[in-house]
Amino acid sequence: MAVNYIYPEYEVVRNYDRCIVCRVCERQCANGVHEYLPDLNKMTCDDSKCVNCHRCVALCPTRALKIVKSDNTYKENANWSNKTINEIYRQAESGGVLLSSMGNPENYPIYFDKILLNASQVTNPSIDPLREPMETKVFLGAKPKAIKRDAEGKLVDNLTPHLTLSMPVMFSAMSYGSISYNAHESLARAAKELGIFYNTGEGGLHEDFYKYGDHTIVQVASGRFGVHPDYLSSGVAIEIKMGQGAKPGIGGHLPGTKIVGDISKTRMIPEGTDAISPAPHHDIYSIEDLRQLVYSLKEATDYKKPVIVKIAAVHNVAAIASGIARSGADIIAIDGFRGGTGAAPTRIRDNVGIPIELALASVDKRLRDEGIRDNVSLVVGGSIRSSADVVKAVALGADCVYIGTAALIALGCHLCRSCHSGKCNWGIATQVPSLVKRLNPEIGYKRLVNLMNAWKHEIMEMMGGMGINSIEALKGNRLMLRGVGLNEKELEILGIKHAGE
Ligand code: SF4
Ligand code: SF4
Ligand code: SF4
Protein backbone atom coordinates (compact mmCIF):
# COMPACT_ATOMS: atom_id res chain seq x y z
CA MET A 1 0.00 0.00 0.00
CA ALA A 2 1.62 3.25 -1.12
CA VAL A 3 0.48 5.28 1.87
CA ASN A 4 3.91 6.81 2.20
CA TYR A 5 4.50 7.90 -1.35
CA ILE A 6 5.86 11.43 -1.21
CA TYR A 7 5.98 13.32 -4.46
CA PRO A 8 9.43 14.90 -5.08
CA GLU A 9 9.71 18.40 -3.64
CA TYR A 10 11.71 19.69 -6.61
CA GLU A 11 11.71 18.97 -10.31
CA VAL A 12 14.80 19.01 -12.48
CA VAL A 13 13.87 20.72 -15.72
CA ARG A 14 16.21 19.96 -18.62
CA ASN A 15 16.01 21.88 -21.88
CA TYR A 16 16.79 19.11 -24.35
CA ASP A 17 17.40 21.64 -27.14
CA ARG A 18 20.31 23.00 -25.13
CA CYS A 19 21.62 19.78 -23.59
CA ILE A 20 24.78 18.58 -25.33
CA VAL A 21 24.89 15.35 -23.29
CA CYS A 22 28.26 16.27 -21.80
CA ARG A 23 27.30 14.37 -18.58
CA VAL A 24 28.77 17.09 -16.35
CA CYS A 25 25.58 17.11 -14.26
CA GLU A 26 25.85 13.35 -13.75
CA ARG A 27 29.43 13.65 -12.48
CA GLN A 28 28.70 16.66 -10.29
CA CYS A 29 25.62 15.38 -8.46
CA ALA A 30 26.65 13.33 -5.43
CA ASN A 31 22.99 12.46 -4.92
CA GLY A 32 22.83 10.45 -8.14
CA VAL A 33 19.97 12.41 -9.67
CA HIS A 34 21.19 12.52 -13.28
CA GLU A 35 21.72 9.42 -15.41
CA TYR A 36 22.90 8.86 -18.97
CA LEU A 37 20.83 6.56 -21.18
CA PRO A 38 23.31 5.14 -23.70
CA ASP A 39 20.69 3.56 -25.93
CA LEU A 40 18.98 6.89 -26.43
CA ASN A 41 22.12 9.04 -26.02
CA LYS A 42 20.06 11.14 -23.68
CA MET A 43 20.05 12.28 -20.05
CA THR A 44 17.31 11.42 -17.58
CA CYS A 45 16.90 12.09 -13.89
CA ASP A 46 15.37 10.94 -10.62
CA ASP A 47 13.88 14.12 -9.11
CA SER A 48 13.15 12.43 -5.80
CA LYS A 49 16.86 12.51 -4.86
CA CYS A 50 17.35 16.21 -5.65
CA VAL A 51 18.04 18.50 -2.65
CA ASN A 52 18.14 21.69 -4.76
CA CYS A 53 21.81 22.49 -4.19
CA HIS A 54 22.18 24.05 -7.68
CA ARG A 55 25.55 22.40 -8.34
CA CYS A 56 24.43 20.97 -11.68
CA VAL A 57 22.67 24.20 -12.62
CA ALA A 58 25.81 26.24 -11.97
CA LEU A 59 28.11 23.88 -13.87
CA CYS A 60 25.97 22.97 -16.87
CA PRO A 61 27.92 24.52 -19.77
CA THR A 62 24.83 25.32 -21.84
CA ARG A 63 22.43 26.53 -19.12
CA ALA A 64 20.17 23.64 -19.96
CA LEU A 65 19.10 22.99 -16.36
CA LYS A 66 16.87 24.58 -13.78
CA ILE A 67 15.37 23.30 -10.54
CA VAL A 68 11.77 24.27 -9.83
CA LYS A 69 9.52 23.65 -6.89
CA SER A 70 7.02 20.96 -7.69
CA ASP A 71 3.43 22.18 -8.03
CA ASN A 72 2.04 18.78 -7.12
CA THR A 73 -0.06 19.40 -4.03
CA TYR A 74 -2.46 17.88 -1.55
CA LYS A 75 -5.91 19.42 -1.22
CA GLU A 76 -5.45 22.99 -0.01
CA ASN A 77 -5.56 23.33 3.75
CA ALA A 78 -4.41 26.36 5.73
CA ASN A 79 -3.79 24.19 8.78
CA TRP A 80 -2.25 21.03 7.34
CA SER A 81 0.46 22.10 4.91
CA ASN A 82 2.09 19.76 2.38
CA LYS A 83 5.23 19.90 4.52
CA THR A 84 3.41 18.85 7.68
CA ILE A 85 1.63 15.97 5.97
CA ASN A 86 4.88 14.71 4.40
CA GLU A 87 6.70 14.89 7.72
CA ILE A 88 4.01 12.78 9.37
CA TYR A 89 4.29 10.21 6.56
CA ARG A 90 8.06 10.08 7.07
CA GLN A 91 7.82 9.62 10.82
CA ALA A 92 5.04 7.07 10.52
CA GLU A 93 7.35 5.09 8.27
CA SER A 94 10.61 5.46 10.17
CA GLY A 95 9.64 6.04 13.80
CA GLY A 96 12.58 8.45 13.94
CA VAL A 97 13.37 12.05 14.76
CA LEU A 98 13.41 14.32 11.70
CA LEU A 99 16.83 15.81 11.04
CA SER A 100 17.70 19.11 9.39
CA SER A 101 20.65 21.39 8.92
CA MET A 102 21.50 25.08 8.60
CA GLY A 103 19.31 27.64 10.37
CA ASN A 104 15.62 27.82 11.19
CA PRO A 105 13.85 28.60 7.88
CA GLU A 106 10.39 29.21 9.34
CA ASN A 107 8.48 32.45 8.94
CA TYR A 108 9.15 34.11 12.32
CA PRO A 109 9.70 37.89 12.47
CA ILE A 110 13.15 39.09 11.44
CA TYR A 111 13.62 42.09 13.70
CA PHE A 112 16.67 43.36 11.85
CA ASP A 113 14.34 43.97 8.89
CA LYS A 114 12.02 46.05 11.08
CA ILE A 115 14.76 48.35 12.33
CA LEU A 116 16.03 51.33 10.34
CA LEU A 117 19.19 53.38 10.76
CA ASN A 118 19.53 57.10 11.21
CA ALA A 119 21.51 59.46 8.95
CA SER A 120 22.78 62.97 9.51
CA GLN A 121 21.06 65.87 7.73
CA VAL A 122 22.02 69.55 8.03
CA THR A 123 23.22 69.43 11.66
CA ASN A 124 25.76 66.91 13.00
CA PRO A 125 27.32 66.48 9.55
CA SER A 126 28.01 63.08 8.09
CA ILE A 127 31.56 61.80 7.67
CA ASP A 128 33.10 60.65 4.42
CA PRO A 129 34.93 57.40 5.21
CA LEU A 130 37.13 57.77 2.13
CA ARG A 131 38.53 61.09 3.28
CA GLU A 132 38.31 61.07 7.05
CA PRO A 133 39.58 58.60 9.65
CA MET A 134 37.11 55.93 10.69
CA GLU A 135 37.88 53.40 13.44
CA THR A 136 36.49 49.91 12.92
CA LYS A 137 38.87 48.22 15.35
CA VAL A 138 37.28 46.29 18.22
CA PHE A 139 38.76 45.04 21.50
CA LEU A 140 37.04 42.09 23.13
CA GLY A 141 37.39 41.33 26.82
CA ALA A 142 36.71 42.84 30.23
CA LYS A 143 37.25 46.59 30.43
CA PRO A 144 38.51 48.35 33.59
CA LYS A 145 35.88 50.33 35.47
CA ALA A 146 38.43 53.06 36.15
CA ILE A 147 41.99 53.76 35.11
CA LYS A 148 44.41 52.89 37.91
CA ARG A 149 48.00 54.05 38.28
CA ASP A 150 50.76 52.85 40.57
CA ALA A 151 52.84 55.06 42.87
CA GLU A 152 55.06 56.04 39.95
CA GLY A 153 52.10 57.02 37.81
CA LYS A 154 52.31 54.01 35.49
CA LEU A 155 49.09 52.40 34.29
CA VAL A 156 48.11 49.29 36.25
CA ASP A 157 47.02 46.74 33.67
CA ASN A 158 46.13 43.39 35.20
CA LEU A 159 43.34 42.52 32.79
CA THR A 160 43.20 39.32 30.77
CA PRO A 161 44.65 39.99 27.30
CA HIS A 162 42.06 41.30 24.86
CA LEU A 163 41.24 40.11 21.39
CA THR A 164 41.89 42.85 18.84
CA LEU A 165 39.90 42.72 15.61
CA SER A 166 40.15 44.94 12.55
CA MET A 167 36.34 44.98 12.25
CA PRO A 168 33.42 43.82 14.42
CA VAL A 169 32.95 40.46 12.67
CA MET A 170 34.37 36.97 13.33
CA PHE A 171 33.74 33.53 11.84
CA SER A 172 31.64 31.45 14.20
CA ALA A 173 32.31 27.95 15.47
CA MET A 174 32.17 25.26 12.79
CA SER A 175 33.91 22.01 13.64
CA TYR A 176 36.34 20.06 11.50
CA GLY A 177 34.09 17.10 10.82
CA SER A 178 30.93 19.09 10.32
CA ILE A 179 32.75 21.06 7.63
CA SER A 180 35.64 19.97 5.46
CA TYR A 181 39.39 20.49 5.76
CA ASN A 182 39.30 22.90 2.81
CA ALA A 183 36.48 24.93 4.37
CA HIS A 184 38.46 25.20 7.60
CA GLU A 185 41.59 26.23 5.75
CA SER A 186 39.63 28.92 3.87
CA LEU A 187 38.27 30.34 7.14
CA ALA A 188 41.65 30.22 8.90
CA ARG A 189 43.51 31.93 6.06
CA ALA A 190 40.83 34.58 5.66
CA ALA A 191 40.83 35.31 9.41
CA LYS A 192 44.61 35.76 9.30
CA GLU A 193 44.52 38.05 6.28
CA LEU A 194 41.65 40.12 7.70
CA GLY A 195 42.99 40.46 11.25
CA ILE A 196 39.97 38.72 12.78
CA PHE A 197 39.33 35.23 14.22
CA TYR A 198 37.79 31.93 13.26
CA ASN A 199 36.61 29.26 15.68
CA THR A 200 37.45 25.55 15.75
CA GLY A 201 34.02 24.48 16.96
CA GLU A 202 33.92 21.36 19.05
CA GLY A 203 36.00 19.07 16.85
CA GLY A 204 39.54 19.94 17.94
CA LEU A 205 42.20 21.58 15.79
CA HIS A 206 43.84 19.80 12.86
CA GLU A 207 47.63 19.86 13.27
CA ASP A 208 48.03 21.68 9.94
CA PHE A 209 46.11 24.66 11.33
CA TYR A 210 48.20 25.33 14.44
CA LYS A 211 50.07 27.88 12.34
CA TYR A 212 46.92 30.02 12.28
CA GLY A 213 46.78 29.98 16.11
CA ASP A 214 47.02 33.77 16.39
CA HIS A 215 43.69 33.95 14.61
CA THR A 216 42.03 30.93 16.16
CA ILE A 217 39.48 30.63 18.96
CA VAL A 218 39.53 27.09 20.34
CA GLN A 219 36.28 25.67 21.64
CA VAL A 220 35.64 23.39 24.62
CA ALA A 221 32.26 21.71 24.37
CA SER A 222 30.54 19.11 26.53
CA GLY A 223 32.12 16.20 24.59
CA ARG A 224 35.65 17.62 25.15
CA PHE A 225 36.67 16.23 21.75
CA GLY A 226 40.24 17.08 20.81
CA VAL A 227 40.86 19.06 24.01
CA HIS A 228 44.41 18.81 25.39
CA PRO A 229 46.96 21.30 26.78
CA ASP A 230 48.55 22.07 23.40
CA TYR A 231 45.13 22.67 21.89
CA LEU A 232 44.16 25.11 24.64
CA SER A 233 47.44 26.96 24.27
CA SER A 234 47.32 27.07 20.49
CA GLY A 235 44.55 29.66 20.10
CA VAL A 236 44.18 33.24 21.26
CA ALA A 237 40.99 32.62 23.21
CA ILE A 238 39.04 29.66 24.59
CA GLU A 239 35.30 29.35 24.07
CA ILE A 240 33.20 27.20 26.40
CA LYS A 241 30.17 26.09 24.42
CA MET A 242 27.18 25.81 26.72
CA GLY A 243 24.58 26.09 23.99
CA GLN A 244 23.96 26.61 20.29
CA GLY A 245 21.15 28.64 18.72
CA ALA A 246 20.06 25.91 16.32
CA LYS A 247 19.59 23.36 19.07
CA PRO A 248 19.32 24.90 22.54
CA GLY A 249 19.09 22.40 25.34
CA ILE A 250 20.34 19.39 23.43
CA GLY A 251 23.76 17.98 22.60
CA GLY A 252 25.48 17.28 19.30
CA HIS A 253 25.91 14.15 17.25
CA LEU A 254 28.40 13.58 14.46
CA PRO A 255 27.72 10.13 13.01
CA GLY A 256 30.49 7.52 13.04
CA THR A 257 30.50 7.49 9.25
CA LYS A 258 32.05 10.97 9.36
CA ILE A 259 34.64 10.04 12.01
CA VAL A 260 37.34 8.93 9.61
CA GLY A 261 41.08 9.55 9.16
CA ASP A 262 42.24 12.93 10.39
CA ILE A 263 38.85 13.72 11.93
CA SER A 264 39.12 10.75 14.28
CA LYS A 265 42.73 11.76 15.11
CA THR A 266 41.82 15.41 15.68
CA ARG A 267 38.82 14.55 17.87
CA MET A 268 40.86 11.87 19.69
CA ILE A 269 38.18 9.20 19.27
CA PRO A 270 38.33 5.89 17.33
CA GLU A 271 37.33 5.79 13.68
CA GLY A 272 33.69 4.96 13.09
CA THR A 273 32.58 5.93 16.62
CA ASP A 274 29.66 8.36 16.88
CA ALA A 275 30.84 11.69 18.37
CA ILE A 276 28.09 12.48 20.85
CA SER A 277 28.29 15.70 22.86
CA PRO A 278 26.00 15.43 25.88
CA ALA A 279 23.32 18.10 26.33
CA PRO A 280 24.88 19.50 29.52
CA HIS A 281 28.51 19.65 30.59
CA HIS A 282 28.46 16.94 33.23
CA ASP A 283 30.52 19.10 35.58
CA ILE A 284 28.41 22.26 35.23
CA TYR A 285 25.07 22.64 36.99
CA SER A 286 25.41 26.20 38.29
CA ILE A 287 27.21 29.49 37.66
CA GLU A 288 29.67 28.44 40.40
CA ASP A 289 30.48 25.27 38.42
CA LEU A 290 30.90 27.34 35.28
CA ARG A 291 33.22 29.67 37.17
CA GLN A 292 35.37 26.67 38.08
CA LEU A 293 35.73 25.67 34.44
CA VAL A 294 36.46 29.27 33.39
CA TYR A 295 39.24 29.49 35.97
CA SER A 296 40.54 25.96 35.24
CA LEU A 297 40.99 26.99 31.61
CA LYS A 298 42.63 30.27 32.61
CA GLU A 299 44.93 28.42 35.00
CA ALA A 300 45.82 25.90 32.29
CA THR A 301 46.84 28.73 29.98
CA ASP A 302 48.65 30.97 32.52
CA TYR A 303 45.86 33.58 32.49
CA LYS A 304 46.99 34.60 29.00
CA LYS A 305 43.76 33.87 27.12
CA PRO A 306 40.35 35.46 27.38
CA VAL A 307 37.56 32.95 27.98
CA ILE A 308 34.32 33.14 26.02
CA VAL A 309 31.12 31.46 27.21
CA LYS A 310 28.72 30.70 24.38
CA ILE A 311 25.02 30.23 25.07
CA ALA A 312 21.88 29.90 23.00
CA ALA A 313 19.35 32.74 23.11
CA VAL A 314 16.56 31.41 25.31
CA HIS A 315 13.73 32.90 27.37
CA ASN A 316 15.71 33.96 30.44
CA VAL A 317 18.88 34.84 28.54
CA ALA A 318 19.39 38.17 30.36
CA ALA A 319 19.52 36.51 33.80
CA ILE A 320 21.83 33.78 32.48
CA ALA A 321 24.15 36.37 30.92
CA SER A 322 24.20 38.29 34.18
CA GLY A 323 25.45 35.16 35.95
CA ILE A 324 28.06 34.50 33.27
CA ALA A 325 29.31 38.09 33.51
CA ARG A 326 30.06 37.35 37.18
CA SER A 327 31.69 34.00 36.49
CA GLY A 328 35.04 35.36 35.39
CA ALA A 329 34.30 34.96 31.68
CA ASP A 330 35.66 37.78 29.52
CA ILE A 331 33.26 37.48 26.60
CA ILE A 332 29.70 36.18 26.25
CA ALA A 333 28.65 34.83 22.86
CA ILE A 334 24.91 34.56 22.29
CA ASP A 335 23.57 32.48 19.42
CA GLY A 336 20.06 33.30 18.17
CA PHE A 337 17.41 30.80 17.14
CA ARG A 338 18.25 31.17 13.46
CA GLY A 339 21.85 30.04 13.95
CA GLY A 340 23.13 27.36 11.60
CA THR A 341 24.12 23.78 12.32
CA GLY A 342 25.50 20.76 10.52
CA ALA A 343 22.66 18.66 11.93
CA ALA A 344 19.82 19.19 14.39
CA PRO A 345 16.43 17.66 15.09
CA THR A 346 14.02 19.65 12.92
CA ARG A 347 11.51 20.25 15.71
CA ILE A 348 14.19 21.68 18.00
CA ARG A 349 15.72 23.85 15.29
CA ASP A 350 12.37 25.29 14.29
CA ASN A 351 10.68 25.75 17.69
CA VAL A 352 13.24 26.41 20.41
CA GLY A 353 15.02 29.64 21.32
CA ILE A 354 14.37 33.32 20.65
CA PRO A 355 15.47 35.90 18.05
CA ILE A 356 18.96 37.27 18.58
CA GLU A 357 17.82 40.90 18.29
CA LEU A 358 15.55 40.60 21.34
CA ALA A 359 18.08 38.52 23.28
CA LEU A 360 20.88 40.99 22.62
CA ALA A 361 18.85 44.05 23.58
CA SER A 362 17.65 42.49 26.81
CA VAL A 363 21.12 41.20 27.80
CA ASP A 364 22.79 44.54 27.09
CA LYS A 365 20.14 46.39 29.12
CA ARG A 366 20.34 43.97 32.05
CA LEU A 367 24.14 44.17 32.24
CA ARG A 368 24.02 47.97 32.06
CA ASP A 369 21.30 48.15 34.72
CA GLU A 370 23.42 45.97 36.99
CA GLY A 371 26.56 48.01 36.32
CA ILE A 372 28.48 45.01 34.98
CA ARG A 373 28.34 45.66 31.23
CA ASP A 374 32.09 46.34 31.12
CA ASN A 375 32.89 43.04 32.86
CA VAL A 376 32.35 41.32 29.52
CA SER A 377 32.13 41.87 25.79
CA LEU A 378 29.08 40.64 23.89
CA VAL A 379 29.36 38.74 20.63
CA VAL A 380 26.14 37.77 18.85
CA GLY A 381 25.34 35.40 16.02
CA GLY A 382 22.36 33.56 14.64
CA SER A 383 21.74 34.88 11.17
CA ILE A 384 23.78 37.99 10.62
CA ARG A 385 23.19 38.33 6.90
CA SER A 386 24.73 41.64 5.87
CA SER A 387 26.74 44.66 6.98
CA ALA A 388 23.43 46.35 7.91
CA ASP A 389 22.70 43.54 10.38
CA VAL A 390 26.18 44.08 11.85
CA VAL A 391 25.59 47.82 12.31
CA LYS A 392 22.15 47.23 13.86
CA ALA A 393 23.53 44.56 16.20
CA VAL A 394 26.31 46.88 17.38
CA ALA A 395 23.81 49.72 17.92
CA LEU A 396 21.67 47.30 19.94
CA GLY A 397 24.66 46.66 22.22
CA ALA A 398 26.94 44.04 20.64
CA ASP A 399 30.70 44.50 20.62
CA CYS A 400 31.05 42.20 17.65
CA VAL A 401 29.15 39.56 15.65
CA TYR A 402 29.80 35.97 14.64
CA ILE A 403 28.93 34.91 11.10
CA GLY A 404 28.62 31.29 10.01
CA THR A 405 26.03 30.79 7.29
CA ALA A 406 27.03 33.99 5.44
CA ALA A 407 30.65 32.78 5.42
CA LEU A 408 29.61 29.39 4.02
CA ILE A 409 27.49 31.07 1.33
CA ALA A 410 30.61 33.04 0.35
CA LEU A 411 32.36 29.67 -0.02
CA GLY A 412 29.64 28.40 -2.37
CA CYS A 413 26.94 27.01 -0.06
CA HIS A 414 23.55 27.21 -1.78
CA LEU A 415 21.57 26.62 1.43
CA CYS A 416 20.13 23.30 0.34
CA ARG A 417 19.99 22.40 4.04
CA SER A 418 21.23 18.86 3.62
CA CYS A 419 24.59 19.12 5.39
CA HIS A 420 23.56 16.21 7.63
CA SER A 421 23.66 13.88 4.61
CA GLY A 422 27.44 14.38 4.36
CA LYS A 423 27.14 14.73 0.58
CA CYS A 424 27.58 18.48 0.17
CA ASN A 425 28.06 19.01 -3.54
CA TRP A 426 29.98 22.23 -2.87
CA GLY A 427 32.74 20.54 -0.82
CA ILE A 428 31.81 22.30 2.43
CA ALA A 429 29.80 20.04 4.76
CA THR A 430 31.35 16.79 3.63
CA GLN A 431 34.34 14.53 4.25
CA VAL A 432 34.15 12.66 0.93
CA PRO A 433 37.57 13.36 -0.66
CA SER A 434 36.21 13.78 -4.19
CA LEU A 435 33.70 16.36 -2.91
CA VAL A 436 36.07 18.13 -0.50
CA LYS A 437 38.44 18.99 -3.34
CA ARG A 438 35.68 20.90 -5.11
CA LEU A 439 36.29 23.73 -2.65
CA ASN A 440 39.64 25.29 -3.49
CA PRO A 441 40.88 26.99 -0.29
CA GLU A 442 42.90 29.44 -2.37
CA ILE A 443 39.69 30.69 -3.99
CA GLY A 444 37.60 30.18 -0.85
CA TYR A 445 39.74 32.36 1.39
CA LYS A 446 39.85 35.15 -1.20
CA ARG A 447 36.05 35.13 -1.44
CA LEU A 448 35.78 35.42 2.35
CA VAL A 449 38.28 38.28 2.35
CA ASN A 450 36.31 40.02 -0.42
CA LEU A 451 33.04 39.63 1.47
CA MET A 452 34.49 41.00 4.70
CA ASN A 453 36.21 43.91 2.96
CA ALA A 454 32.94 44.78 1.22
CA TRP A 455 31.07 44.65 4.54
CA LYS A 456 33.72 46.73 6.24
CA HIS A 457 33.39 49.42 3.62
CA GLU A 458 29.59 49.38 3.94
CA ILE A 459 29.84 49.54 7.74
CA MET A 460 32.05 52.62 7.45
CA GLU A 461 29.60 54.23 5.02
CA MET A 462 26.65 53.62 7.34
CA MET A 463 28.58 54.91 10.34
CA GLY A 464 29.74 57.93 8.38
CA GLY A 465 26.16 58.61 7.33
CA MET A 466 25.19 58.74 11.00
CA GLY A 467 28.09 61.08 11.78
CA ILE A 468 29.83 58.38 13.83
CA ASN A 469 33.52 57.70 13.34
CA SER A 470 34.18 54.70 15.58
CA ILE A 471 32.57 51.36 16.39
CA GLU A 472 32.90 52.20 20.08
CA ALA A 473 30.67 55.26 19.60
CA LEU A 474 28.09 53.14 17.78
CA LYS A 475 27.99 50.42 20.44
CA GLY A 476 24.66 50.46 22.26
CA ASN A 477 23.73 53.74 20.55
CA ARG A 478 20.04 52.93 20.18
CA LEU A 479 19.22 56.52 19.31
CA MET A 480 20.51 55.60 15.86
CA LEU A 481 17.74 53.00 15.48
CA ARG A 482 14.00 53.28 14.77
CA GLY A 483 11.44 50.49 14.52
CA VAL A 484 8.86 50.03 11.78
CA GLY A 485 5.74 47.93 12.24
CA LEU A 486 6.67 46.86 15.76
CA ASN A 487 4.31 46.86 18.75
CA GLU A 488 4.93 48.68 22.04
CA LYS A 489 6.32 45.60 23.78
CA GLU A 490 8.75 44.80 20.99
CA LEU A 491 9.98 48.41 20.94
CA GLU A 492 10.33 48.36 24.71
CA ILE A 493 12.45 45.19 24.67
CA LEU A 494 14.58 46.47 21.81
CA GLY A 495 14.90 49.79 23.63
CA ILE A 496 14.20 51.82 20.50
CA LYS A 497 11.60 54.35 19.37
CA HIS A 498 9.19 53.89 16.50
CA ALA A 499 9.98 55.57 13.19
CA GLY A 500 8.48 59.08 13.20
CA GLU A 501 9.22 59.62 16.90
S1 SF4 B 1 25.45 19.37 -17.82
FE2 SF4 B 1 23.90 20.38 -19.07
S3 SF4 B 1 24.56 19.98 -21.15
FE4 SF4 B 1 25.68 18.55 -19.89
S5 SF4 B 1 24.41 16.70 -19.85
FE6 SF4 B 1 23.79 17.90 -18.08
S7 SF4 B 1 22.07 19.13 -18.81
FE8 SF4 B 1 23.12 18.35 -20.60
S1 SF4 C 1 20.97 17.61 -5.89
FE2 SF4 C 1 22.02 19.42 -6.67
S3 SF4 C 1 23.38 18.65 -8.28
FE4 SF4 C 1 21.88 17.04 -7.85
S5 SF4 C 1 20.23 17.42 -9.34
FE6 SF4 C 1 19.66 18.50 -7.50
S7 SF4 C 1 20.45 20.57 -7.80
FE8 SF4 C 1 21.48 19.26 -9.28
S1 SF4 D 1 26.99 23.51 3.29
FE2 SF4 D 1 26.57 22.22 1.49
S3 SF4 D 1 25.06 20.71 2.18
FE4 SF4 D 1 25.09 22.38 3.70
S5 SF4 D 1 23.47 23.77 3.03
FE6 SF4 D 1 25.36 24.51 2.13
S7 SF4 D 1 25.44 23.57 0.09
FE8 SF4 D 1 23.92 22.43 1.26
Q: Provide mean pLDDT across the span 462-467.
A: 96
| Shared domain check, 303 and 229 | yes
Banded pLDDT at 11 (limits 50, 70, 90): very high
Residues facing 99 on adjacent strands: 345
Q: Which of 27, 48, 55 to mutate to test the pocket of ligand 2 (most atoms within 8 A of CB)?
A: 55
Give the DSSP per-residue string, 158-226.
-SPPPEEESSSEEEPB--BTTB-HHHHHHHHHHHHHHT--EE-GGG---GGGGGGGGGEEEEE-TT-TT
How many residues appear in the chain? Answer: 501
Please tell me if the CB atom of residue 30 comes closer than 6 angstroms to any atom of ligand 2.
no
Q: Please choose from 413, 417, 431 the residue to mutate so as to test ligand 3's pocket, defined by most ligand atoms within 8 A of CB.
A: 413
Mean pLDDT of 152-167: 87
Q: Is 53 in the pocket of ligand 3 (CB under 6 A)?
A: yes
Average pLDDT, stretch 43-62?
Answer: 97
**The last residue of a domain, from among 96, 125, 157:** 96
Whether 158 and 193 share a structural domain? yes
Please give the mean pLDDT across all residues of the chain.
94
Tell whether 169 and 249 lie within a shared domain.
Answer: yes
Please give the pLDDT value at position 330. Answer: 97
What pLDDT does 223 receive? 86
Ligand nearest to the CA of 52: 2
Residue 69 covered by a domain: yes
Query: Which secondary structure element, helix H or strand E, spans residue 253, and what is its range?
Result: strand 252-254
Residue 208 lies inside a defined structural domain of this protein: yes
In a domain, 450, yes or no: yes
Residue 1 has pLDDT above 70, yes or no: no
Which segments of 314-386 does DSSP mark as H helices, in order?
Answer: 317-325, 346-351, 356-369
Query: What pLDDT was estimated at residue 281?
Result: 87
SS3 state of residue 295: helix
Residues 276-296 have pLDDT tens digits of 888 888 889 999 999 999 999
Q: How far apart are CA 173 and CA 161, in angstroms?
A: 21
Distances (CA, A) of 418 to 69, 177, 342, 345, 346: 16, 15, 8, 12, 12
Angle at which helix 387-395 crosses helix 356-369, to 10 degrees, equals 30
- C-alpha–C-alpha distance, residues 376 and 325, integer Å: 6
Residue 234's Cβ-side half-sphere holds a number of Cα atoms within 13 Å equal to 23
Q: Determine the average pLDDT of the residues in 459-469.
A: 96
Residues 50 and 126 in one domain: no
Number of domains in the chain: 2
Say if ligand 3 is within 6 A of residue 413 CB.
yes
Ligand 1 atom nearest the C-alpha of 34 is 6
Element housing 413 (H / E): none
Q: Closest Cα to atom 2, ligand 2: which residue?
A: 53
Same domain, 136 and 70: no
Read off the CATH number of the domain in which 40 is found.
3.30.70.20
Distance CA 471, CA 120 (A): 17
Band the pLDDT of 454: cuts 50, 70, 90: very high
C-alpha dihedral (433, 439, 442, 447), degrees to nearest 10: -160
**What's the gap in Å between 405 CA and the centre of ligand 3?**
9
Q: What confidence tens digit (pLDDT) does each residue in 79-130 have?
A: 999 999 999 999 999 999 999 999 999 999 999 999 999 999 988 889 999 8
Whether 480 and 369 map to the same domain: the answer is yes
Task: Tell me whether residue 106 is in a domain.
Answer: no
Find the CATH number of the domain harbouring 422: 3.20.20.70
pTM of the model: 0.96
**Mean pLDDT score, 328-356:** 96
Report the nearest-CA residue for atom 2 of ligand 1.
60
Query: Quick one: pLDDT band at residue 384, thresholds 50, 70, 90?
Result: very high
Using the atom order of ligand 3, give the atom closest to the CA of residue 416: 8
Average pLDDT score over residue span 247-252:
90
Of residues 273 and 243, the one with the higher pLDDT is 243
Give the distance (Å) from ligand 3 centre to CA of residue 190. Answer: 20
| Residue 148 pLDDT > 90 | no
Nearest atom in ligand 1 to 20's CA:
3
Residues 132 and 76 grouped into a single domain: no
In a shared domain, residues 130 and 91: no
Domain membership of residue 73 as a residue range = 10-96
**22 annotated as ligand-binding:** yes
Phi, then psi, of 296 in degrees rounded to 5: -65, -40
Whether 442 maps to a domain, the answer reads yes
- Verify that 356 and 407 share a domain, yes or no: yes
Question: Do 426 and 398 belong together in one domain?
Answer: yes
